[in-house]
Amino acid sequence: MKARVHVTLKPGILDPQGKAIQHALGALGFGAVDKVRQGKVIDLEIAETDPEAARASLREMCEKLLANTVIENYAIEIDAGP
């Protein structure tokens, strides 16, 4: 099954890259952008048919490697479709 993990900086952690993107957008005329936060999307294909088992396993992957939980949050999306 396919899964997608979103890794984002925790609120309160400064994101200099997000800030630079915001400035660049402003320079391009998108002055309405108040805030930009940059994160990561990780797509995975897992040999697992039980969505709950997949979610538990993904959670462990996030805690151990995919996210640094000192500074990052993660969210797991599972595509249980055919």
Partner 1 sequence: MKAAIVVFPGSNCDRDVQVALRQSMRGAPGHDEPIMVWHKDADFEKVDLIVLPGGFSYGDYLRCGAMAAHSPAMTEVVRRAKAGVPVLGICNGFQMLTETGLLPGALLRNAGLKFVCRDVHIRVETSQSPFTGRYQTGQRLRVPIAHHDGNYVADEEELERLEARGQIAFRYCEPDGAVTEAANPNGAARNVAGVFNEAKTVLGLMPHPERLADSALGGADGRPLFDGLVEALS
Distance from the first to the final alpha carbon of the chain: 9
Q: 14 or 32: whose CB is closer to partner 1?
A: 14
List the one residue from 56, 71, 75, 80 that touches partner 1 (CB under 8 A): 71
d(CA 68, CA 62): 8
Minimum distance of partner 1 from residue 80's CB (angstroms): 26
User: Is the four-CA dihedral 18, 11, 55, 82 of positive or negative sign?
Assistant: negative
Binding characters for partner 1, 2-31, by CB under 8 A (x = yes): ----------xxx-xx--x-----------
